[in-house]
Amino acid sequence: MADPARARKIADRIKVIVAKALERGIKDPRLGFVTITDVRVTGDLQHASIFYTVYGSDEERADTAAALTAATGMLRKEVGRNLQIRLTPSLEFIPDAIPETSARLEQLLAEARERDSASQAAAAGAQYAGDPDPYVKPRQYDEDDED
């Protein structure tokens, strides 16, 4: 098992190599506007998971996924040539869910703001349900009550 710091450095290096290769090396017309967001390498440096996002519609995302799958061998060869380690890790491209997650989070925050404002509006005109002073006070005896 490799040192975690070394695995992190290799992951960063793979991220740069793949990004440059996508920028200048692949001539596939299906490839859209791709951003490599993260790379994770296993502890034994045998497998690299590359997370990416694509700007565009669902069809463009599907086309880009197909183009990346087709170019995996060429990209692995490029990674092996530039890393200069004994074994070149296998590459796996995974679409990153950051845009969808952030959109859902924004939607939930807007919904929470609406509920909060509705709650504040309801509380503004609210009255207590019971007595104005609900606490029990000690009983006061009149002098007439003493038997």
pTM of the model: 0.69
Q: Which residue range forms the structural domain that includes residue 66?
A: 4-98
R_g over Cα of the chain = 31
Residue 115 domain-assigned (yes or no): no
pLDDT, tens only, 61-98: 888 899 899 999 999 999 999 988 889 999 999 998 87
Residue 80 domain-assigned (yes or no): yes
Give residues with Cβ within 8 angstroms of 78, minimum separation 6: 17, 18, 21, 25
Cβ atoms within 10 Å, residue 86: 6
Q: What's the confidence (pLDDT) of residue 98?
A: 79
Q: Residue 52 pLDDT > 70, yes or no?
A: yes
Residue 79 domain-assigned (yes or no): yes
Residue 145 domain-assigned (yes or no): no
Q: Residue 147 pLDDT > 60, yes or no?
A: no
Residue 127 domain-assigned (yes or no): no
Element (H, E) at 7: helix 4-24
Q: What's the confidence (pLDDT) of residue 145?
A: 58
Cβ atoms within 10 Å, residue 54: 21
